Amino acid sequence: MAPRGVRVRVSPFAPKAAYIKRFFYELCWLSLERNRLNEAVPVKNKPLERTLTVSFPLAEYKATVASRLKEIAKTSRVKGFRPGKTPISIIEQQHGGYVRQELLDEAIRRSFSDTVREKKLRVAAAPSVKITSAEDGDSLTYDATFEIYPEITIPDFSEIEIEKYTPNVSDKDVDEMLDRAKKQKISFKPVDRKSKEGDQVKIDFVGKVDGDSFAGGSGEDAIFVIGDGQLLPDFENNLNDLVTGQSKSFKIVFPKDYQNSDLAGKLAEFTVTAKEVSEPILPEIDEDFVKSLGIASGNLGELREIFKKNIATEGEQRASNKTKDEIFKIIEKKIPVDLPESLVNQEAQQIEKKMRGDLEARGMKSDEVKIPQEAFKEEAEGRVRLGILIAEIARQRGLEVKSDQLKGKIEEFAKGYQKPEEVVRWHYEDPTRLQRFESLLIEENVTQLILNESKVSEVSVDFSDLIGDAK
């Protein structure tokens, strides 16, 4: 069922899926209501921007204000009056201002929603509103400026050539998974020698630019594994050939595209003191190792068989994602889309918010990191473009998410938990928890539609290559 409001807010659960659901429903609703209005006027040089002049009578609004104030009077406690007996004039003085503003905002939102539905306008984001007339006291007139979704022509998919990827799993892939399992159980042992790649080093470090310290440039007892790629390459290279107790000073130049624009392209001098150098110790692949991975028998053959099944499952998922990504690249090239600036700005803000949250989680003060808004624009445009395209294909081709399809998706997800029935029940207790899966299913339905209608050729891809593509 189409929502009554102008916008549907969806939390960003996934890079692509979250906004697809919002676009899908916003593109779907149509209704006929009330209100006197003028035509939506296009804004020069902004193809998706419109301005509407809307008027509505204030009689209902005034009655609602009076009713709300009476409700407040019934429970108000004012010194000198019995509960519920405060004169309405005093209630008006104390509460009238915010009550009027709240109900006026609500009346404007409702009138705008009714108006754009009557005009069958597909509104992309909340409008900016400017009240132009309320002089007679009987009606209110305002101008609403907003963006609409673009009109999109969906092409004939039968002329599109698609490569559908399938995974090729070998014993070599199982061997590599065993190696990764060993590395996950790696330990480190202090050594009395120079550090080298693969070693773990505990260091104190102090960095300065133009002789001044900077945020995030100093640390104590910081632990890094040389070669892990956690650090800038020039900094990491200088951690080689250190012995415990040794101090070393060196200079590096921050990359021009460094995330902190205050440091981008600048020369910094660091002093590092090695407090401990440790070498990696890998476990032997024996019975104890196999048992430590949850195989009670300790049988290596049983472990390898489980690994092979897991790799095959992961390979199918990665191959499917690779196919889906290729499909989306093709439709983005074939279908031109004008992007609503308001949605791009909203998406850029979400990307920045997530990035700053990640920085905070890593112990950095995100408010000290200056990043220009333009840094997020390209990714935001890509997300909005793809979200609109997928939603519009789903809308035009009637690809609704079926209830049994949704239930199956949630049950599949719940299998990874100890009590899957409780996980399923928890999701159905709140419709907003289902949005993540509905968005993914819209995406999958569109992908399958294009595969069914296009010219498809299967391509076998080694699992190692699929892993590499995902990095």
User: Does residue 242 sit within a domain?
Assistant: yes
pLDDT score at 40: 67
Q: Are strands 161-168 and 455-462 parallel, antiparallel or unpaired?
A: parallel
- Distances in Å between the Cα of 9 and the Cα atoms of 19, 21, 22, 128, 471 are 9, 9, 7, 18, 30
The parent domain of residue 197 ranges over 188-281
pLDDT score at 78: 81
- Tokens (6 digits) for 92: 């008006």
* Cα–Cα nearest to 341, from 11, 37, 43, 40: 43
User: Which letter does DSSP use for residue 95 in this model?
Assistant: H
- Tokens (6 digits) for 13: 């659960």
pLDDT tens for each residue of 174-225: 999 999 999 889 999 999 999 999 999 999 999 999 999 998 899 999 999 9
Number of domains in the chain: 1
CA distance 380 to 343: 9
User: Does residue 214 sit within a domain?
Assistant: yes
User: Does residue 113 sit within a domain?
Assistant: no
User: Does residue 297 sit within a domain?
Assistant: no
CA distance 127 to 143: 9
**pTM (whole model) above 0.85:** no
CATH of the domain at 266: 3.10.50.40
Contacts of residue 54, defined as CB under 8 A and 6 or more positions apart, other chains included, come to: 35, 36, 37, 111, 112, 115, 141, 142, 143, 144
pLDDT tens for each residue of 2-51: 333 333 333 333 334 444 554 544 444 333 333 444 566 666 668 899 99
Q: Which has more confidence, 137 or 97?
A: 97
User: Does residue 463 sit within a domain?
Assistant: no
> Could you report how far apart the first and last alpha carbons of the chain are, in Å?
39
CA distance 460 to 391: 30
